Amino acid sequence: MKHYRHGTCLWQRLATAVVAALCAHAACASTLAERIDSIIGDKKMTVGVAAEYADMHFVLNDSVRFPLLSVFKTHVAMAVTARMQMDGISPDSVVHIDKGRLKKDTYSPLRQKHPDSDIDITIAELMRYSVAESDNNACDILIDMAGGIDYVDMYIRSLGVSGFSISETEASMHADRQLCYANWSYPQSMLDVLKVVFAPGDTRFALLRGIMLGTSTGRDKIPAGVPEGMAVAHKTGSSDRIGGIKAADNDAGVVMLPGGNCYIVVFIMDSAETDSTNAATIAAITRAVLAEAGCDGSAKQ
């Protein structure tokens, strides 16, 4: 009987510990949910969030299909990387781009630098333009190199990621702005993509990780909510406005914390707020996530 009572006592202690841990996790999620709810307030927008650090995990509106906009350039770069590795092509390989492929009516720092000439450029630099500078022409060229937009969608699914759809190029979305809603993702799905890219010990996407660390767009989004001295790799997405409504204003990134990677995805859909309010909302949510992770501090201005 003593052995039975001892076993029962041990089981009870273990059960108590598990319940306490679950309660602590629920309290953490509740606290973060309350902070984020206060940030969103009565803003005219739909917000989706996914965040993960150590044993902290939080999602908001994970059944809503948020338009990715240029965040999908992360998926494109992953598919191109896989294609290069499959075909034994070095990222330093030089490709020739006819000036006719550089469309004038789209955001393209690459075309601005080379307005009237053909270009010889490495694949790595083309990826940098697409991801770090969000160049639309570079993105569509990379989609062709990967094997088409359907291959991009198929490849990401082959990694075990679900809860998204990618069917449109930058050219098709510019031809019909409503098609930007066709490239969509749940917040958790985008977090899963980031976890593949930044998986510890996995070198497949080392080039992409470095490029995302150098992203020049959206410094007022996730980076603005991160304390000085912490490295941030991220990819932004932003749409035009239709009737004053911004279809999407997004940022998805990784904050390199002392205890490991903190993954943060913030999607804003159908916002009637200003661009600055959208960006400030993303930054504030980032600060709330890092505070919950115990890694908040004086944020960048």
Catalytic residue among 38, 70, 93, 271: 70
Give the global pTM. Answer: 0.88
Condensed to tens digits (0 to 9), the pLDDT of residues 152-171 reads 999 999 999 999 999 999 99
* pLDDT reported for residue 116: 87
| CA–CA gap between residue 197 and residue 237 (Å, rounded) | 18
**What whole-number percentage of the chain has pLDDT above 70?**
88
Task: Check residue 1 and give its pLDDT.
Answer: 39
139: closest CA among 79, 92, 207? 79
pLDDT tops 90 at residue 111? yes
CATH superfamily placement of domain 34-292? DD-peptidase/beta-lactamase superfamily (3.40.710.10)
pLDDT tens sequence across 166-190: 999 999 999 999 999 999 999 999 9
Specify whether the CB–CB gap between 201 and 224 falls below 8 A. Answer: no
Residue 18 — very low, low, confident or very high, per pLDDT cuts 50/70/90?
Answer: very low
Task: Give yes or no for a contact between 221 and 236, defined as CB atoms under 8 angstroms apart.
Answer: yes
Give the torsion through C-alpha atoms of 232, 291, 54, 226, to 10 deg. 0
Q: How far apart are CA 26 and CA 32, in angstroms?
A: 10
At 40-91, the pLDDT tens digits run 999 999 999 999 999 999 999 999 999 999 999 999 999 999 999 999 999 9
130 is catalytic: no
List of E strands, 68-152: 94-97, 119-122
Beta strands in 78-130 (DSSP E): 94-97, 119-122
Of the pLDDT bands very low, low, confident and very high (cuts 50, 70, 90), residue 109 is: very high
Residues of the chain by 3-state class (helix, strand, coil), percent to 5: 50, 20, 30
| Side-chain half-sphere exposure of 158, counting CA atoms within 13 A | 10
Residue 167's CB is within 10 A of a number of other CB atoms, namely 13
pLDDT for the residue 295: 79
The widest CA-to-CA distance across the chain, in whole angstroms, is: 89
Euclidean distance between CA atoms 209 and 112, whole angstroms:
25
Which tokens in the block code for residue 64?
Answer: 């809503």
| pLDDT digit string, tens, across residues 190-211 | 999 999 999 999 999 999 999 9
* Least reliable range by pLDDT among 30-44, 117-131, 213-227: 30-44
End-to-end CA distance of the chain: 66
